Structure 1
Amino acid sequence: MHVALLNEGTYPVVHGGVSTWCDQLVKNLPEHEFSIVTLTGTQHESVWSLPSNVRSFQAKPMWGEVRRRWSFEALRAWGESSEIDSAYRQLWSAVLPPAGRSVDLQAATAGLRVLAAEYAQPLMAHFTGGLGTKALMGAWASHVKGTGLPPLSGSQAADVSRHVDRFLAVLNVSWPSVDLIHATTNGPAGLMALGRHWRDGTPIVLTEHGVHLRERYLALRAANFPWTVRYALMAMTRAVCQTVYNHCELMTPVSEFNAGWERELGAKAQRVITVPNAVDATAFPPVEGEPDVPTVSFVGRIDPLKDLATLIEAFAIVRDSVPDARLRLFGPTPAGNEAYRAELDALVVACGLGASVTFEGAVPSARPAIEAGHVVALSSISEGLPYTVIESMMCGRATVSTDVGGINECVGRDETCGLLVPPRDAQALGEALVRLLVDDAERQAMGRRARERALSTFDLAKFTARYRCIYQRSAATVPEADLDDVRRALEAADSSATREYAAATHAAPTTTEAESCR
């Protein structure tokens, strides 16, 4: 089978959790060929060694380069198309309906389908007389009439159109003919999938690692945009995400937390099947010993979603009880996050932490970072099912994490395999870290339980068996009546993978994790 794997800012142009997942998927399904298409910002070259079953890789920039490919005259001629004008008006009127009416997803879908089928140039209508801008302003005026909500200025509408035009432009990104499309996120990657699906009927599988819509809410909340701009952008993003859900053969979120969001946003419950992340246990054997100095480790990118400011503030609380403690932060600072890193450096100084906090940079794998700490901490405000926690558990390290996304599905809600604290709560995070740093018996017992849970729940053989089954069923398309058969097939794949693992390791079979497929 030939599969298009669609990404946004991840594999293979950067390292990280989603990229690790993609690499596992491709390498462990060698019988399938993959064409990889990745929407990018600044990094366009692969930083991974791609396996032999990757037929092609394309990096598609969302900004900049695309603009320079078309003459002003060509864009003007395209922008004057009455069909495109009508599609824009229909789309914005559906996304921002008249006051008192609900969003019309059917009309929004119809507008998107016209744009996917008709345009031959990038969607840069604001350079050709503000086509998208005029459609947006007309819909906004009707949407807020009599509500007391503020008007949308022309410049604000142009800002929205600029972002939405680039968002919608991916509808016509091309790649080789394939049997199945697998999008690793909603939003732009989901739109890429929709464009091809509408043109030739190729079925779509969608895997959300973090819920795209939720993470856009968080990002726009922190952005320096007027409220009107944020509102319009989120209205369009929500409609696009819901449209993608409505056209997928299967959605395979990595956690039940994500699955709940998808169902709440209108995804058909029968088509949502949770498939947890997994790791290769042989690559993460139990760690030997502990550091000489009480140490908290973090591993991940330096990014606002990881909320490292709260972790640093929590560590200041740790130092009050454990004066010789250290905090070691492993991971790269992605391009564009330099200002955030500078804020963290300033916070370390302001908290008087000096050399007790160190930024260690990127590491070839998570294991050195996990070994470096008595406890591994994760302070994120949004997660899917983070490899940091799963890999730490597999190594037998205790973890303290914020209770966001699917993290409680990693460690268990009873917290016997890891402690959970509320997000953005430095006091709670600091107290939990102190608790484990000073209690050797509890920390080490928690690490042993964590490894046992990781071995039974996040097994790479089960992950591979599930996707082998999902690809086979989805490529043939799955009627509603046959979805229960898909679940039974996944349970059988789980059982087979468990028996194979037990035979290979001479271990007693563990309980089948069939619940994760229901």
Structure 2
Amino acid sequence: MSGDAGLWCDRLVRGLEQHEFDLYALSRSRQQEDEGWVPLPPQVSRVRTAPLWTADDDGVSHGRRARRRFAECYGELVGAVCAGAAPGADGPSGCGSDESADASADLADRFGSALYGLAELAREEGGLVGALRSDAAVRTLERACRAPGALRTAREARVPDLLAVTAHLERALRPLTLDWYGDDGLGAADLCHAAAGGPAALPGLLARHFCGVPLLVTEYGVQLRSHYLGLGPDAAAPAVRALLGAFHGRLAAEVYRRAEILTPGNAHARRWQERCGADRARIRTVYPGMDASRFAEVGESPDRAEPDTLVWVGRVEPAKDLISLLHAFAEVRKEEPKARLRIVGAPCGPEGAAYLGHCRALAAQLFPDEAEGAHAVGDNPVSFEEIGGPEAPTLPDAYAAGAVVVLSSVVEGFPISLVEAMLCGRATVSTDVGAVVEVIGGTGLVVPPRNPRALAEACVALLHDPERRARLGAAARARALELFTVEQNIAAFHGIYLRIVSHCPVRRVVLDASGEPRPFAAPAESHVPGRWTGPTARVLPRTAPGWAATAPVRATPLAAAEGA
């Protein structure tokens, strides 16, 4: 796992040193694997990895009975996908499907039963890579698309569409064939903590199915929403978008239905989960934790800011809408000729590099070098920088330079850069996307997205009023220290871990040295830090009433494979 989600997972494991962890990671690309390993704390006992980005043909040749089982299970799965729009297909505030409640529940049951049927087949007969890639799988999908009651868009699917959907499903279902679900793997954990939803949560879902291990799912960016945003009209044909959207909607609903507790990172993610069928009683919002200490010096020294400077910090990509920011800054300069804009960030992939080039060209067009006035020849009022450069050696230094920090995104989950600016005690101007309003809570100005004029007016209002900037910055820092620190995040998950293992203990039979059952060998105190069980006890899979657990809690985080 990389990015902000990987940083959060690392802080969580290091902070919960009273628990024991096994890490199970699904990598999404070779580049992610080549980035290397981070030093692990002593509470991590084992790390197991599996790539989702590649899978050779496993060479498994199924017999007639196994092929018939596969056809039945896969047919049920794609039949449920093709039968209608999944929950959440219209977003958290859409009208949703026209299915009745009973029909929707029936489709959810069909999808779940088929998913677990495929997992059981893989466990008994071997891998499913060849079967999921086979012509039989394509024909099964085609029959489901042509069946009565199928989605109208699905009925229009042509051969290239069917091949594209089959390839995507094979990749998404690769966790079904992993050898992680025995007593020497996830079955030995007291709980599985999935660090994302979607295919990344499948190992935890199967550990629950095979071994009764409770599942905790954390989503700081909803995987279903990311799928919808990533698979736009330019990326795939309508039939492909409809079928894959229905599949991921069904998978999200199954994960939410089976999870013991869901911990979205904000109310925006929570609404998506509820729209997909998550039980509100099992949802606990837990904000991501930020390391406040690295921003303490800047936050306690607000006078370091340059009074006429706006700062933007983040990954350079189209979703950040720097084009609108540049046009807004052109309006700002009409009111504040001395104003400057510092854009600090690196491009995100080839698309980000191309976007950065476009932004540089636009800046040169909007602000040609001035021969006189506030700036010397060749001194453009817009600068493009990266962290580590002479002007911004560190991230806190980047925020310290600005009197106002600006966020101009059109798409945003949890705005990490906004929290960092708040910890630095900076007044902010943000677009109303994602969880921005929830994070700001009245300590900054919020404007509509894609509205350069509104963005400019808000920036000018703060540049003209230093006392208001100071008040908002102080309030923002106080709010961030109260809600968005590592300490509050770790304390919340510590309580959730103990709650889950106390209410949903994994039931196992404990045998003594002679092999005789010990029905009361593991009392409730076994979940309290300390060694309460005898040194000769060993644990076997669930076969009869009674339960045992290691002490402290043995948690198994599952690293996200997609969207991290």
Q: Which category of TM-score, normalised to the shorter sequence, fits these structures?
A: 0.7 to 0.9
Q: Any conservation in 1 of the 2:411–2:434 contact (CA below 8 Å)?
A: yes
Superimposed CA distance per residue, residues 454-477 of structure 1 (whole angstroms, 9 cap, x where no aligned partner):
223334433222211111121344
1:338 equivalent in structure 2: 350
Within a 5 Å distance, the mapping from 1:98-113 to structure 2 comes to 102-103=103-104, 104-113=107-116
Which segment drifts farther, 32-41 or 162-171?
32-41
- Report the TM-score, using the length of structure 1 for normalisation: 0.80
Residue 327 of structure 1 deviates from its aligned partner by 3.2
Distance 2:153 2:163 in 1: 22
- 1:316–1:23 Cα change, 3 Å: farther
Structure 2 contact 133–170 (Cα < 8 Å) conserved:
no
- The reply to whether residue 158 of structure 1 matches residue 163 of structure 2 is yes
DSSP-derived class of the 2:224 partner = helix
Q: How does 1:149-298 map to 2 (within 5 A)?
A: 151-175=156-180, 176-177=185-186, 178-221=189-232, 223-285=234-296, 286-288=299-301, 289-292=303-306, 294-298=308-312
Larger deviation, residues 196-205 vs 156-165: 196-205
Cα distance, 1:242–1:445 mapped onto 2, change above 3 Å: same
Greater mean alpha carbon deviation, residues 272-281 or residues 157-166: 272-281
Letter in 2 for 1:368: D
Shift of residue 276, structure 1, vs aligned partner: 1.7
Matched, 1:52 2:52: no
Q: CA RMSD in A?
A: 2.9
Deviation at 1:222, TM superposition (A): 5.7
Q: CA deviation at 1:356?
A: 4.1
Give the equivalent residue in structure 1 for 2:377.
none
- CA shift digits 1:391-445 (9 cap, x unpaired): 2212201122222222212111xx3x11112233333223322322332222222
- C-alpha separation in 2, matches of 1:256 and 1:331: 27
Q: How does 1:86-485 map to 2 (within 5 A)?
A: 86-97=72-83, 102-103=103-104, 104-119=107-122, 120-125=126-131, 127-129=133-135, 131-142=136-147, 151-175=156-180, 176-177=185-186, 178-221=189-232, 223-285=234-296, 286-288=299-301, 289-292=303-306, 294-334=308-348, 337-351=349-363, 352-353=365-366, 355-362=380-387, 366-412=395-441, 415=442, 417-478=443-504
Q: Which structure has more RCO (C-alpha within 8 Å, separation ≥ 6)? A: 2
Matches of 1:148 and 1:333 in 2, distance apart?
36
User: Which residue identity is paired with 2:479?
Assistant: R
- Say if 1:398 and 1:148 are closer, same or farther in 2 by CA, change over 3 A: closer
What is the Cα deviation at residue 263 of structure 1?
A: 1.5
1: CA distance, partners of 2:455 / 2:168: 37
Q: Does 1:43 align with 2:57?
A: no
Aligned mates of 1:365, 1:27 — CA distance in 2 = 24
Cα deviation for residue 78 of structure 1 reads 10
| Partner AA of 1:406 in structure 2 | A
Contact kept in structure 2, 1:38 and 1:59, CA below 8 Å: yes
Distance change (3 Å), C-alpha of 1:299 and 1:209: same
Q: 1:329 to 1:203 in 2, by over 3 A?
A: farther
Q: Deviations over 1:123-167 (max 9, x none)?
A: 3546422x3322222222226669587610011111011111101
Task: Specify whether residues 94 and 426 from structure 1 end up closer, same or farther in structure 2 by C-alpha distance, changes over 3 A only.
Answer: same
Displacement, 1:385? 3.0
More helix by share: 1
Query: 2:264–2:284: 8 Å Cα contact kept in structure 1?
Result: yes
Q: Runs of 5+ in structure 1 lacking a partner?
A: 1-9, 480-518
Q: What CA distance in whole angstroms lies between the structure 2 residues aligned with 1:84 and 1:125?
A: 8
Q: Tell me whether 224-233 or 169-178 shows the greater mean CA deviation.
A: 169-178
Distance 1:323 1:18, change over 3 A: farther
Contact 1:287 1:371 in 2 (8 A): no
Note closer, same or farther for the CA distance 1:111–1:148 as it changes in structure 2 (3 Å cut).
closer
Structure 1 residues 207-231: Cα deviation after superposition (integer angstroms, max 9, x where no partner):
1101221221111126421111111
Which secondary structure state, in structure 2, belongs to the residue aligned with residue 81 of structure 1?
Answer: helix
Instruction: Within 5 Å, give how 1:1-12 maps onto structure 2.
Output: 10=1
2:95 corresponds to 1:84: no
Give the letter aligned to residue 359 of structure 2: L
Q: Cα gap change, 1:97/1:314 in structure 2, threshold over 3 Å: closer, same or farther?
A: same
TM-score using structure 2 length: 0.74
Which amino acid is the alignment partner of residue 473 of structure 1?
R
Q: 1:221 to 1:431 in 2, by over 3 A?
A: farther
Flag the 1:205–1:312 CA change in 2: closer, same or farther, 3 A: farther
Q: Does the CA-based 8 Å contact 1:318-1:434 persist in structure 2? A: yes
Identity %: 33
In 1, distance between residues paired with 2:468 and 2:491?
A: 35
| Maintained 8 Å contact 2:175/2:202 | yes
Structure 1, 395-404 or 456-465: larger mean CA deviation = 456-465
What is aligned with 1:28? 15
Work out whether residues 293 and 326 of structure 1, in 8 Å CA contact, stay in contact via their aligned partners in 2: no
CA distance in 1: counterparts of 2:114 and 2:347, whole angstroms: 39
